[in-house]
Structures are given as C-alpha cells and as structure tokens.
Structure 1
Amino acid sequence: MEVRNSSYLADAPVYDAQAHDAVVLVGDIGGTNARLSAWRAELDSPTATELFAKTYPTESFATFDAVVDAFLSEPAVQLSPPRAAALAIAGAISSNRCNMTNVNWLVDGDALSAKHGFRVSLLNDFEAVGYGIPALEPNDLVTLNDAPVLPRAPKVVMGPGTGLGAAQLMWDTGLGAYKVWPGEGSHATFAPRGWKQKALARYVTTLHGHCEIEQVACGSGLELIYEFLQTDEAANRPELLVGARSKKKAADISAAALLGTDPLAVEAVDLMFAIVGAEAGAMALRCLAKGGVYIAGGITPKLLPRVRAGALLEGFLMRKGRSPFHKILTETPLFVITNEKVGQIGAREVAKRLLD
C-alpha cells in the first residue's frame, strides 16, 4: 500500500540537503528469503551503485529485526551506513507495519527507524515495482505496442507471477514525481472472451465456486489452464489418447511451450497471455494510461518468444470491442519489463525520497 507519512518520523535524523548522494538500504522481503542491499544513490538522478547485497533465509531468523541487525553489522555496510530505508514486502501494509503471511514476522517500519536512527518506509512488493518504472532504462523494456508515451500521463503496471499484481501511477504535482496507487483488482471476477475462455471460467467456478482474474492469470493459473485444456474430448485432441491426463508445474509448462514439444502447453501459455492482455487493456481504459502499460512479474520476461507470438497484444487491443475504445488502446503504449530488479529499483527510489 501507499508510502505513509507515519514513516517520516519527526525525531529521525535529517540528511544534509547540500549533499548530492547518500547510501540507502533496500529490502525485498518474501516468505522464503529476505534480500537486503545497500546502494549509493545520486539524489537528483536515477543513477545508483550497489555497494553490498546479501540474501538471508527467513527460516534462520526469529525476527526481521535480527536480519536488519545482521546486515548492518556487515563490514561493507558499516563503512557506509544507510541514511534511509525502503522495504518491499510480500504482504499488506498498514500504518507502516506488516504482519507477514508466510513467515511469522512482524515488520514495523517506525520501530526500526527509532532503533537505527534513519527513516524507514514499508511498501507492498508490487507498489515497489510501480516506483521502479520511471527509473528504468530503455533497454529494460520490450515494446509490444509502439505508441507515444505522454509525459505525466497515468501509467499502469501489472503482471503474472505467484499471483497477479497490479498498480496505477499518477503524476503528483506536489511531489514532482509519480505516486503509485496499488490495488487488488486482480481479485475481481474474470470476464471471459470467446467460447473457450467461457468454458475455462465454468471449469474454475465448478472447482472453486468463483473464478477471479488472478486464478487464470498467474503461475498456478497457468497450471489450471493446462489442466482445463486436457478435459477436451479425445476426438478433438487425439494426443490425449496417448496417455492419461497429467498435471504439470508452471515451470514445466513454460519450458515445454518455449521448446514447442507440447502443443497443449503452447495453447495454455497463449491463453493465459490473452487473459493478461485483456486485463491490461481494461486497466488502461480505466485511467486512460497514455503514459504506458507495463507488464512485469516473474513469468512474462521468461516467455518473451510466446509473448511476441501475439496473444498478449491481441488481448490488449480489444479489436472486437467498440471502435472508439479500440482506437484508444491502439494509441496506448504497451511494454514488457525485462529488468528483474525493477522492484528493488523502486524501493531504492522511495528510500531516496525519505531524504528530502
């Protein structure tokens, strides 16, 4: 959720405004690993240098505070102590605190700030991705729909990974920069297009009682789509006569789709990307995202050959929709983010703002 003013503690030390750079602490905190890094960042540009990074298995630490203590005790970090920190966490943030879901940790930004003497802000992991977008380089992006990016226009970021993350970026005149507004729109009801997507929606609803967008547009969603495609009549899919139906992990489906060794895997990946593209187009229309729509997440960059095959772009453009809105989408830039560190970059940019 949003960066909150509660993390701007009145008694926290104030950084020398005359300085041109500073070291900031960046965190990517998940259920399995806590990745911390120290960056020397230039305050008036996106330029930054990573000074030290270390990954800490969550199972080895009783509390997150102990992880921070371990990181700050590293000799390389003690040479250049951080002056602010932003921590991206896989969980819901409230009042600069997060009770993590998959590990028994309470992360309290204000308490960390009081303990260590520098400002700390917590943010949702996909919110961090949003803050990373303005700092990306051109070679961090693959263009799918080549249209002009309008300065200060709304932007949308979304993408499939463990789940389906999404956020909007709106220009904040007071900040002189974009502010990210995260959301949970991926849990809205899936709106299928065409008979096969409608059959998929029925299949998922029969299994789970409801079909939301995320259930068919993420890693586990890819597995579910593959499972659904095997329910077709063998007369329509003779290859299903060769052996019994099988369940495959998302990584195996993706690998088979890239190699072209399993036609069902290719179809499953393309169907998922068509759904992702449709939701990206819907988000673009909701806020007229002429600043661009950016597809992130762990899955899409790894499957770029299938992305380039066109299912995602076709889903996005909504050719069979009403012509005025199809035209808006044709004029909306669409990109895939290939830089896997975009979330860390975003957290770094938030940490820099804490120095202002």
Structure 2
Amino acid sequence: MTHPENTLSLVADIGGTNTRVALADGTRILPSTIRRYSNAAFPGLETALRQYISDEGDVDCKAACVAIAGPVRDGVGSMTNLDWSFDRDTVARATRAEHCNILNDLQAQGHALGHVDPANIREIVAANTQASPGAAQIVIGVGTGFNMAPVYNAESGRLVTPSEAGHANLPIRTEAELRLCQYVSTAHGFPAVEDVLSGRGLERVYRFLGHEAGDEREIDAKAIMATLDTKSDPRAIEAVRLFIRILGTVAGNLSLIQLPFGGVYLVGGVARAMTPYLSEFGFVDAFRDKGRFAGFMQNFPIYVIEDDYAALIGCAAYLDHRT
C-alpha cells in the first residue's frame, strides 16, 4: 500500500497488553490503517512502531503521538503495568516523524472530547443546568487500570493535565468497604483505587466476598460479567454492585475536586461493560451521596464514551492543533 509522503500522522494507544496504531488525516482516523499488536511480541515500543511503519508500506509520517497507560514526565513515558520506558527520541527514530509527542492515555481521551462521534457517547445522567461552552470536564478511565484527567477549555486552547488518580487511597464509607481495604492491603500493601476499580480489581472484589463467605473460589472478570444476565452467580452480582457503588463514590469525589460542569466522561473497557448496570446497582446514588452537597452534584452530567478508538482520536486532535 502507498500513502502520501509527509502528510499523515501516526497515532498509537499503548495499553498494558496491546498496542493499537493508526494513521490520521488531521483529526480523522483512517479506519483501514488501524492495527493491533500484542506487546508480548516486542521487546519495546520502538520495534512495535517500526513493525507498523513496515506493515503500512514504509509510510512517511509528518507527526506522531503516542498515548501510554502510565506517567509521562519531561517527555519520558513509563508504563505502569509493562516494563517499557521511552522518550520522544524513541518515537522519532521509529517513525521518522518531524514532530513527536507522548501523552498519558487519559490525556489523549480528554483531547478526544468534541471529536468523538456523538453516536458513540451514551448519556447516563443529564445535568439540571446548561453548562457554559468553556466549562471544565473530566475523563475517568476504568480498564486494565484506573485514572482520571481534567479537561480545561480556555480561549488559548485545550489543556488536559495528567494525573495518577488510580494510585490514591480507596475511600471508605462502610464497614464492608473498610474490610475490603484491609483485604487489598494485605495482598498488595496499600489499598489503592486501582486495586478495586479495574478489571483485576473486580476479580479481587469477587475474591474478597468469597473470603468473607468462607468460599475461596476465583473466576476472572470476563466470567463475572458473563454471569450477570443469567443471574447464575449471586456473588458475581454482589461484586459488581460493590464495584459500581465504589466507582460512584470515587467519581463523585473527583467531580467535587474538579467541578466538571461540562461533563463527567467514563471511558475504558471495564466502564463500558459496567454501563448497563450503573443505574440498577446505584452508581448515581453513590455519586451524589455527598451530604449537604448532594443537590449540588446534580450539576454534573455523566456520559460513557463507547468508542474504543477514542485515545487514537485524541492523539490526532492533539497533533492537529500543534502541527
């Protein structure tokens, strides 16, 4: 295949297990160029990107932007759940692009807001008031890990600041949640939000409930979700219910910190899997359970982004405004 020289941008979304790469024309992702690679097949990011360049006919890109599931500092990215570390020079060597950037994956999701097809955004809760065009927003990612990024829309452009919110302490509201924190601490040394609000976290919640009941049976997150429709496993139902209520509490806490009158956007594979059950299992009640601020919490609309390529779209939007 042949692509025009020095015209398209390369965008990549690097998770703990897989890397997705595509070419973008401005803010538009070219669907036929989307490829997925298993990270286990490569020693590092540079070889994975070189493979993509080769697979796309040795494409000559004008710019490249990589979103990673981990912190980025001074242009250096470190994966949280993968032994990869790299910088802009790494991306430049692999892609031969003139302009290269590395973003945290939630930053990329934040830059995608306003560019994702509205058909791929599901409204969970409408706000009780109309937000101003420049109102702050937040994206909350629930998948292999957990994180959040605030989105600020200023006249000079959009600013999406990084964070590592998944590694803050779990909130505690009930005796059961205290016991869950103690259970997670025993296993991992520190009760972090990500230890519960992630795919692996759901499995830990399931094990915790079994531990409480004297039944140490384990199943994976996919199997837990699969039993919900059949209601064949009461413990799975209770695990998802506890997961969703803690998610509501954490999302509410983050909203009070950032005041996202422009919307709370849930992203990630686990968030999408939980969407059909958010209302049934009390997400909104937990989100708004803030004492005298319960009424104030109705100012924040809540959505789920159902586009699996939103991070790629965000990388393309980021580059489009800077090249």
**Normalized against structure 1, the TM-score is what?**
0.80
- CA distance in 2 between counterparts of 1:106 and 1:186 reads 20
- Aligned residue type for 1:140: N
Q: What secondary structure is seen at the aligned counterpart in 1 of 2:265?
A: strand
1:93 to 59, 62, 72: 72
Is 1:284 the counterpart of 2:255 in the alignment? yes
Q: Cα deviations across residues 145-170 of structure 1 (Å, max 9, x unaligned)?
A: 11134321111111321111111111
- 1:247-326 to 2 correspondences below 5 Å: 247-318=218-289, 321-323=290-292, 325-326=293-294
1:197 aligns with one of 177, 198, 211: 177
Alignment correspondent of 2:15:
30
How many aligned positions are there? Answer: 315
TM-superposed deviation, 1:294: 0.9
Q: Aligned equivalents of 1:60 and 1:300: distance in 2? A: 27
User: Any unmatched runs of 5+ in structure 1?
Assistant: 1-14, 16-21, 234-239
Which aligned pairs between 1:38-49 and structure 2 lie closer than 5 A? 38-41=23-26, 46-49=27-30
Q: Counterparts of 1:136 and 1:329 in 2: how far apart (Å)?
A: 25
Give the Cα–Cα distance (whole angstroms) in 1 for the partners of residues 187 and 50 of structure 2.
46
Which 4+ stretches in 1 moved above 6 angstroms?
A: none
Map 1:12-31 onto structure 2 (within 5 A): 22-31=7-16
CA–CA separation in structure 2 for the residues paired with 1:33 and 1:231: 32
Question: Is 1:70–2:51 an aligned residue pair?
Answer: yes
Match of 1:331 in 2: 299
Q: Which residue of 1 aligns with 2:159?
A: 179
Distance 2:197 2:85 in 1: 30
2:91, 2:179 → 1: CA distance? 50
Identity percentage over the alignment? 29
Output the aligned Cα RMSD: 2.5
Q: Secondary structure in 2 aligned to 1:38?
A: strand
Amino acid at match of 1:332: F
Residue of structure 2 equivalent to 1:159: 141
How far the C-alpha of 1:131 sits from its partner, in A, is 1.4
SS at match of 2:268: coil
Q: Look up the match of 1:343.
A: 311
Spell out, residue by residue over 1:260-302, the C-alpha distance to the aligned partner (whole angstroms, 9 max, x if none): 2111111111110111111111111112110111111211212
Aligned-partner SS, 1:39? strand
**AA paired with 2:39?**
T
- How much does 1:303 deviate? 2.8
Please state how far the C-alpha of 1:23 moved relative to its aligned partner.
Answer: 1.7
* DSSP 3-state at the match of 1:153: coil
When normalised by structure 2's length, the TM-score is 0.87
Superimposed CA distance per residue, residues 103-134 of structure 1 (whole angstroms, 9 cap, x where no aligned partner):
55443313543772420101112221121122
Residue type of the partner of 1:36?
V
Compared with structure 1, are the counterparts of its residues 47 and 30 closer, same or farther at alpha carbon in structure 2 (3 Å cutoff)? closer
Residue 37 (structure 1) shift = 0.9
